[in-house]
Amino acid sequence: MRVKLFYIFIFICGSFSALGQNVTSEFTYNEFLGYVKKFHPLVKQADLKLNEAQANLLQARGAFDPKIEVDFSEKQFKNSQYYSILNSSFKIPTWYGIELKAGFDNAEGIYLNPENTLPNTGLTSFGISVPIGQGLFINQRMADIRKAKIARNLNLAERNLQAVEVLYEASVSYLNWKRSFDEVQLYETYLKNALIRYDGVSKLIAEGDKPAIDSVEAGITVKTRRLNLEAAKLKLTKAKLDLSNYLWLEDNIPLELNDNLKPEDLLSKSIKETLQINELGTINIENHPKILALDAKINMLKVDRKLKANALLPKLDLSYNYLSEPSYIDNYRFEDYKVGVNFSFPLFLRKERGSLKLTDLKIQDSEFGLQFERKNLENKIKAQQQEISSLQIQKEYNTNLVKDFTALLNAEDRLFEMGESSLFVINSRENALVSSQINNIALENQYLNAIISLFKTLANPN
């Protein structure tokens, strides 16, 4: 409860102190991902897959639970007991299809079926049932257990893929927020410059040093900057609302992004470390969740294949039950017993052979898909690495352009102060500088998006 109040204080109550002191706090990308990983409902939903796998395994193991069975029936009619029959048993299934059984039967009545006639004290039995053909080395219970164990790896891989998808979408929202925030900051700066220039030109016009038309030129720039700023503020508002979709507290309490929070300034330097993708040369495709999920599905199909191949064997079940009256349980009479043989075998096995063939085709299809996915991931990762390298070079080129345009604008300002330049030329220089800086923000956004796209491809949410 104290932790919850602390977070609420930071995100909600903290805004009042920040407004009073005009302070803007940096909300880092690492902190943002921490909130998403810990509190976002879709990440919690992905974690449910792990619990689902454990529940499926528990359910499969239930097929090996010992079982007590009691069957009792009695008939009374016109003060006569027609019959009273009790059949009870305790069964213990084992791994290799062998079943152990202990039972007690009792029957009495004047109209009792001779087949059900038993000693007055009842009859106990201890026996074993063994499948000789089908079901000895693999059966449905064994297959369910094996598939449930494999499904844990499958669910873990699917959980990682789902969590990565949420983290990727959240990261895209954060980067959009950062881009919009940087654009607003840029337009605010140049609006201030335009207002200062407008005031200066107005004074020079009043003093007769500049023609009146220059005020129109300066006023157009101010209006243009205000228009750009208003459009950027709208984008920022939408980006903040979109980012708020990923801010939650425990107990599924949603948060709204505070106006006095700003994105991380040096995100391009820390994002690789945050996402743990610095060692790009040591990527192991075999540990990728998609590969692990496909491997798990193939292994589950192979278990099905073993079960269907086992169905080609004849069904032959042998059972032996030692019989004894309760009063004579210490006197072993092995000549008292009940045995059973259950045999069946389809002559053409068309159903069984067809089912096995379909399973073989499914395995082959999945293996083709696995081979394609391996190559696809390798090429996709290489392409994204090349994209990151190229965007890094483009950023450097554009940064140099910004420096050059800044130098040109500064030089033109000095010429304007000496009366050797015009407001039109200064505005042209400034527009070129603004365009290059907007392009710089866009390139940084592309660069950061390329990194989080690589993170999504690598699919390592931890």
* Predicted pLDDT of residue 21: 41
Regarding predicted confidence, which is higher, 203 or 24?
Answer: 203
As a whole number, mean pLDDT of residues 271-300 equals 84
% of the chain beyond a pLDDT of 90: 50
Mean pLDDT, all residues of the chain: 86
Q: Which stretches does DSSP call E strand in 28-183?
A: 67-77, 80-93, 99-108, 123-131
Q: Name the CA dihedral angle for 261, 262, 264, 266, rounded to a multiple of 10 degrees.
A: -140
* Predicted pLDDT of residue 192: 92
As a whole number, mean pLDDT of residues 322-342 equals 78
* Predicted pLDDT of residue 122: 85
As a whole number, mean pLDDT of residues 138-157 equals 91
CATH H superfamily, domain 2-39+142-300+361-458: Outer membrane efflux proteins (OEP) (1.20.1600.10)
For residue 174, count other CB atoms closer than 10 A to its CB. Answer: 26
Range picked from 12-16, 176-180, 257-261 for highest mean pLDDT: 176-180
Residue 369 pLDDT exceeds 90 = yes
Of 30-34, 269-273, 281-285, 414-418, the range with the lowest mean pLDDT is 281-285
**Residue intervals in the chain for CATH 1.20.1600.10:** 2-39+142-300+361-458
Q: Look up residue 102 and give its two tokens.
A: 């202990």
Residue 381 pLDDT exceeds 60 = yes
Contact 74, 45 (CB under 8 A): no
Regarding predicted confidence, which is higher, 311 or 462?
Answer: 311
Element (DSSP H or E) covering residue 318: strand 315-324
89-127 confidence digits (pLDDT tens):
999 998 888 999 999 999 988 888 888 888 888 888 999
Q: Where does residue 273 rank: exposed (0-12), middle (13-18), buried (19+ CB within 10 A)?
A: exposed
Residue 45 pLDDT exceeds 90 = no
Of 74-78, 358-362, 433-437, the range with the lowest mean pLDDT is 74-78
As a whole number, mean pLDDT of residues 74-93 equals 89
As a whole number, mean pLDDT of residues 339-363 equals 92
Residues 6+ apart with CB under 8 A from 278: 272
As a whole number, mean pLDDT of residues 353-376 equals 94
* Predicted pLDDT of residue 329: 53
Residue 249 pLDDT exceeds 90 = no
Look at the block and give the residue holding tokens 């450097």. Answer: 396
CA atoms within 13 A on the CB side of 283: 22
Q: Look up residue 205 and give its two tokens.
A: 């016009």
Strands 315-324 and 248-249: unpaired
pLDDT band at 77 (very low <50, low <70, confident <90, very high): confident
pLDDT band at 334 (very low <50, low <70, confident <90, very high): confident
Residue 358 pLDDT exceeds 90 = yes
* Predicted pLDDT of residue 283: 67
pLDDT band at 10 (very low <50, low <70, confident <90, very high): very low
Regarding predicted confidence, which is higher, 378 or 419?
Answer: 378
Please state whether the predicted TM-score (pTM) of the whole model is above 0.85. Answer: no
* Predicted pLDDT of residue 90: 95
* Predicted pLDDT of residue 130: 92
Residues 6+ apart with CB under 8 A from 72: 85, 86, 87
* Predicted pLDDT of residue 282: 57
Residue 461 pLDDT exceeds 90 = no
Classify the C-alpha dihedral 115-119-124-128 as positive or negative.
negative
pLDDT band at 23 (very low <50, low <70, confident <90, very high): low
* Predicted pLDDT of residue 20: 34
Residue 354 pLDDT exceeds 60 = yes
196-235 confidence digits (pLDDT tens):
888 887 887 787 777 777 788 888 889 999 999 999 999 9
* Predicted pLDDT of residue 223: 92
Of 36-45, 161-170, 224-233, 304-313, the range with the lowest mean pLDDT is 36-45
